[in-house]
Structure 1
Amino acid sequence: MAARSMKEPVCLIESDSKGRLCMVPSALDILLQIEQKVVVVSVVGMYRTGKSYLMNKLAGANKGFPLGCTVQSKTKGIWMWCVPHPRKTDHTLVLLDTEGLGDVKKGDTKNDNWIFAMAVLLSSTLVYNSMGTIDNKSMENLHYVTELTKNIKIKSNEKDDDRTIVQYLPSFVWTVRDFFLLLEIDGKPCTENEYLEDGLKEIQGEGNQHYNEPRACLRKFFLPRHCFVFERPAKAKILQRMEEATDADLEPEFVEQTNKFTDHIYTKSDTKYVGDGIKVTGKLLGQLAETYVKAIRSGEVPCLENAVVALAEVENAKAVEQARVLYVQRMTSVRFPTNTLEELSAIHASSEKDALVLFMKRSFRDDKQEYMKKLLIVLKGAYNQICEKNINESMKACEQIIKGVFEPLENNLGAGLYSVLGGYKMFRQNREEMTDTYRRAEGKGVKAEEVLKIYLDKKVVVGKAILAADKGLSEAQRREEAEKVKWEKAERERQAMELKQKALEVDMAQQKRTQQEHIKQLNAKMAIDKKDADDRHKKMMADFKEQADKADKREKLRLEEQKQALVLQRQLDEQRIKGEWWESKKSKSRS
């Protein structure tokens, strides 16, 4: 299904009558039909903070996710909107708008924890939306981040360390709405990202754990981090009809800030990955969401590794079947019977290669190559059936040709035309001429000589009888002709053995080619996976280094300013002391 057919958002995950999360089947079906890779952007935040407006802008629309103009929370559960990605032609942009956190009407905060956990698990980029400033209150509202390690598990059989967790979590964007302060730190201008990093600083000393914990978790788990601040978009009357407002109705600064935010998401948000660099399609995303919700409903903590393993089993089995179907389709180009074994083997090799390429593209996490081995066994079985059909078709074609070519010989035998003086010579001459005619005939296939051998071997007894009855031959001539018959039969046996040996060699060459193609495709997939993993690691490290360099630069600048301030203060103190000493000296001289 193309993302373009989705005209408006739909609810993907809702709460049932008992307050438990559940999938909406119709929305899940939409995801399961998307074969493109996805970039997934989720927005979370306190209710009535304008989250839905940002998601609508990312979808290139004013209307879509409900905005509302009251103090009531509009979005319930998790809503989804799939649209074509504006910058990546082979990707679908999946926007997830979550239920507002902290809605007092819900009472049970457990639901908020699971909504936040689901947003983190499904996202490429997590957007946290807040109002006013980045202060202690906004940090306390983000306390869900401190529960992540309780509500999300990466590995199934071992304890997750911080380095393991950060590799699988989305990038983080903090959007601050109705921002009214100057972007300054210690009186000096700063960037939005520097403003965020300054807000994440911890307070040293005991008794500050409650203050430091959400800040430490954000720094520890989410890389890279970015911040965007937005001024108040418009006056109150316009805010009450934001779905109808155009950019001309809004403050120019707000429009510019919104465009800056959307451009960042379009260009910086990565393809969704899970596990060891597995690129997620819409179909896989739907299956992941379903797996996570099932775990939560059963009282378990959703585990990424378990979900990936379960998905791999299902998808790899499907990949085997899809590859088999493609192979069978490719092999329909065979015209039975083929003239040679090599001709059939070449078509098989090409078809098998296409099947392997498809399997490698669709499969993942086949670490022990179990499904690859299953595929090779399936393809071998299919090829054997085709070879058997090729043999049968060749046998039928050859028998039909022999029947037509040797029909005059059979008629002569039935009429007793060879039971005369010189009859054996005539029999032998007719047989050789018809044998040459048979060999020149087309469409016999791979069993041409074998079927001919069977026919000629049956005529050996007949030939001997004609030879014995021909009174025109001397005893010496009969013995000579008998030896020729033995030699010809032995020659046909030798040729038959050669053909069997050749068939064996073709089969062995095919097996070797299959193994080489298997290794080639496997190496190619490993190279691609390694490159993707290296690129993602380099990007993550580059983002980390960029933020660390900026923080380091900011810290060096702060220390330099402190140093200059101390120097200035020292100079002022020295001038003051000198001034006091001079005044004291003048006072003494007057007295």
Structure 2
Amino acid sequence: MRVMMSAPVCLIESDQSGKFNLRKEGKDILDGINEPVVVVSVVGLYRTGKSYLMNRLAGQQSGFALGNTIESKTKGIWMWCVPHPSKAGQTLVLLDTEGLGDVDKGDSKNDGWIFCLAVLLSSTLVYNSRGTIDNDAVQKLHYVTNLAEQIKIKSLSSPSEEDDVAGEDDYKFVCFFPSFVWSVRDFTLELEVAGKQVTEDEYLDFALNLKHGKSRIVSDYNLPRECIRSYFPSRKCFVFQSPASPENMKRLESLKEQDLEPAFLEATRRFCEYIFAESAVKTLKEGHKVTGKMFGNLARIYVDTINSGNVACLDNAVVALANLENQAAVEEAIKVYKNGMEEVKKKFPVNVTDVTQKHQSVSSLATSEFIKRSFKDDNEEYLKKLEENIGQYYVNLLDENEMASDKKCKELLKDLFFEMSERLKNGEYSRCGGYAAYCRDRDANIEKYHSEPNKGIRAEAVLNEFIKGKVAEANTILHTDEKLTKKEKEVQEEREKKTLLEQKCKEEEEKRIEGELLLEAEKKRQEEIKIQMEEKFGKEIKQQQEEIERAVCSKLKEHEELLKKGFNEKADLLGQEIKKLQEEKESIGEVVGKFVGNVVDIVPNLLTGKGFQWR
């Protein structure tokens, strides 16, 4: 779906009691987006021009409220969804957050959670500030130092466990956190360090340099810098000159491009191009791509967690979202299967080959749809649920097909034998030579029955029941026929018994062929599902390994810088983190077999209700 929003809407509202509320209007918009989303959030102190940048990313001059006074205009988190301008099949989700440090609000705890939500929800986080990146500007980004307390990676089995694992997995934040962009507004200095011209990125790196020493002052100075360097996989910086004169700044929203400073427009253009080109699709822990609908559910999970007073846990969020998505995937796949089987259902009765071939192709399509949407179904719980539902529906269809065949065959025999029934009533077979006439008419009708097409899978069984039901009638006519001798009657009795036995064999052969075709089809399905699951898990393992590889590359770069600047002790600690990540990457590849091994046990039981056994 290509979403069309003419203006932003509030996604997450913060009320006066400190609670966050996910707004229905925003959630409904996200529910209608089935495309992957690229999520760009902007955070920063209030009245620093955050909203203007977001409007430009949306391709608009206005939209997010800019305001022209000292009062913060954005409350909570506002959202604007637009088609991605350069990546087909993706939606750009822009999140403009409530300004941090709003004097009117005066709630640092609320600010901390706003920053935390922006980190959790984004694929790119833009931090907006004014002036220069000096120590004061870095210290104002103190929210980043609290992330380790507000966000956990692993799920805790008990509250007492929290202290035991505190900080244990902080080094993995780089695997899951968004890219970091520092936007410096109203920049008036020259980009020089020690008299040498530098790039914007070099300027940021210089501002994030660590100090040597172990004093409390040095530790406080280094902490936010270490967090930024350690938590975010990439860093980028843009500096913007003032867009217009102080008088015109009050009406920035209504200014035309020709009224803005060329240098500011150029910086804005570069900023937008970078965001469009480099911002990735929002992914969950373990690399699962997030759609708009998933993003809305993810926002609800985090909002509910924060409101409950619990620590936001990435593992818990992924599991909760996976349960929602997997259940929806099951329902969607069942719908695909049922709709696909309607075509053959309308033709009932049909032979078993028609049913099995259709079942095989449609169920494969349904499973593909499930696999496409599902994730983290580690124990195949939802795949089993899907297969059980498909199996039950399939068995019911087989029963319906049998009943349709049964009904058609009985009606056909009734029509074919109608004239014989009338003759029997009129006594035409109760005369001398009547048995021969009876057999001639009966055999002719059976021949007509056999030549009739599309009788379905109960053709021989119904005929067998019918012939058995006529035994007494045939024997009566045989024994009252005076034309036949006793010996001839005995011969005919044997002939009747032989006919019944042959028909019984035909019925059993019909059932045998039906059973073999059904079981063969199920075996093929089992192999197809196994192949699909192997491909899916292989892809997921690759995603996880790539996720860790990106983190390793980021930390290796940091490791090199620390060594270059003499921070050997910090470099050693970072080296241990890199080693842990590399070991984890290697171990991930060993788990594919565990997931796929259970697939074999899912399908074989689908037809036990029909009395079939696997050979």
Distance across 2 between alignment mates of 1:401 and 1:273? 61
- Residues 176 and 229, structure 1, Cα contact 8 Å, conserved in 2: yes
Distance across 1 between alignment mates of 2:387 and 2:410? 34
Distance across 2 between alignment mates of 1:189 and 1:506? 77
Distance across 2 between alignment mates of 1:339 and 1:297? 58
Superposition deviation, residue 314 in structure 1: 2.4
3-state SS, counterpart of residue 252 of structure 2:
coil
Number of the residue aligned with 1:174: 182
Superposition deviation, residue 543 in structure 1: 6.0
3-state SS, counterpart of residue 86 of structure 2:
coil
Deviates more, 1:347-356 or 1:466-475: 466-475
3-state SS, counterpart of residue 181 of structure 2:
strand
1:152 equivalenced with 2:151 (yes/no):
yes
Q: 1:234 aligns with which of 233, 244, 249?
A: 244
Matches within 5 A, 1:438-449: 438-449=449-460
- Residues 152 and 312, structure 2, Cα contact 8 Å, conserved in 1: yes
1:388 equivalenced with 2:387 (yes/no):
no
- Residues 40 and 125, structure 1, Cα contact 8 Å, conserved in 2: yes
3-state SS, counterpart of residue 127 of structure 2:
strand
Q: 1:305 aligns with which of 315, 337, 344?
A: 315
Letter in 1 for 2:378: D
Number of the residue aligned with 2:40: 41
Matches within 5 A, 1:281-292: 281-292=291-302
Distance across 2 between alignment mates of 1:171 and 1:515? 42
1:136 equivalenced with 2:135 (yes/no):
yes
Calculate the TM-score normalised by the size of structure 2: 0.86
Matches within 5 A, 1:543-554: none
Letter in 2 for 1:427: Y
Number of the residue aligned with 1:581: none
Number of the residue aligned with 1:77: 76
3-state SS, counterpart of residue 449 of structure 1:
helix
1:278-327 deviation digits (Å, cap 9, x = unpaired): 21111111112112112212211122221222222222222212211221
- Residues 175 and 547, structure 2, Cα contact 8 Å, conserved in 1: no
3-state SS, counterpart of residue 82 of structure 2:
strand
- Residues 229 and 558, structure 2, Cα contact 8 Å, conserved in 1: no
Distance across 2 between alignment mates of 1:216 and 1:555? 14
Distance across 2 between alignment mates of 1:553 and 1:213? 18
1:493-519 deviation digits (Å, cap 9, x = unpaired): 111111222222123213212311221
- Residues 397 and 443, structure 1, Cα contact 8 Å, conserved in 2: no
Distance across 2 between alignment mates of 1:435 and 1:3? 64
Number of the residue aligned with 1:212: 222
How many pairs were matched up? 554
Number of the residue aligned with 1:347: 358
Number of the residue aligned with 1:579: none
Matches within 5 A, 1:417-566: 417-539=428-550
Deviates more, 1:297-306 or 1:37-46: 297-306
3-state SS, counterpart of residue 228 of structure 2:
helix
- Residues 224 and 544, structure 1, Cα contact 8 Å, conserved in 2: no
Distance across 1 between alignment mates of 2:550 and 2:310? 33
Distance across 2 between alignment mates of 1:309 and 1:366? 9
Superposition deviation, residue 343 in structure 1: 0.7
Calculate the TM-score normalised by the size of structure 1: 0.89
Superposition deviation, residue 179 in structure 1: 1.7
Distance across 2 between alignment mates of 1:110 and 1:339? 68
Kindly tell me: are residues 37 and 53 of structure 1, through their superposed partners in 2, closer, same or farther at Cα, counting changes over 3 Å?
A: same
Distance across 2 between alignment mates of 1:279 and 1:71? 39
Kindly tell me: are residues 177 and 53 of structure 1, through their superposed partners in 2, closer, same or farther at Cα, counting changes over 3 Å?
A: same
1:514-568 deviation digits (Å, cap 9, x = unpaired): 311221221222233234444545555556667888x699989xxxxxxxxxxxx
Letter in 1 for 2:273: D
Matches within 5 A, 1:77-156: 77-156=76-155
Bigger Rg, structure 1 or 2: 1
1:370 equivalenced with 2:381 (yes/no):
yes
Distance across 2 between alignment mates of 1:89 and 1:76? 32
Superposition deviation, residue 2 in structure 1: 3.9
Kindly tell me: are residues 338 and 156 of structure 1, through their superposed partners in 2, closer, same or farther at Cα, counting changes over 3 Å?
A: same
Deviates more, 1:104-113 or 1:115-124: 104-113
Superposition deviation, residue 248 in structure 1: 1.6
Q: Which runs of 5+ in 1 are unaligned?
A: 557-591
Q: 1:332 aligns with which of 333, 342, 345?
A: 342
1:190 equivalenced with 2:198 (yes/no):
yes
1:444-494 deviation digits (Å, cap 9, x = unpaired): 211111111111111122222222222222333222222211111111111
Letter in 2 for 1:3: V
1:100-152 deviation digits (Å, cap 9, x = unpaired): 11122222211110110010010000001111221101101101100000111
Q: 2:290 aligns with which of 280, 283, 296?
A: 280
Superposition deviation, residue 65 in structure 1: 0.7
Superposition deviation, residue 388 in structure 1: 1.0
Number of the residue aligned with 1:571: none
Percent identity over the alignment is 44
1:256 equivalenced with 2:245 (yes/no):
no
Give the root-mean-square deviation of aligned CA atoms.
2.1
Number of the residue aligned with 1:582: none
Number of the residue aligned with 2:575: none
Superposition deviation, residue 387 in structure 1: 1.0
Superposition deviation, residue 358 in structure 1: 1.4
Distance across 2 between alignment mates of 1:448 and 1:163? 69
Superposition deviation, residue 419 in structure 1: 2.1
Distance across 2 between alignment mates of 1:357 and 1:47? 48
- Residues 174 and 551, structure 2, Cα contact 8 Å, conserved in 1: no
Superposition deviation, residue 28 in structure 1: 2.2
Kindly tell me: are residues 364 and 12 of structure 1, through their superposed partners in 2, closer, same or farther at Cα, counting changes over 3 Å?
A: same
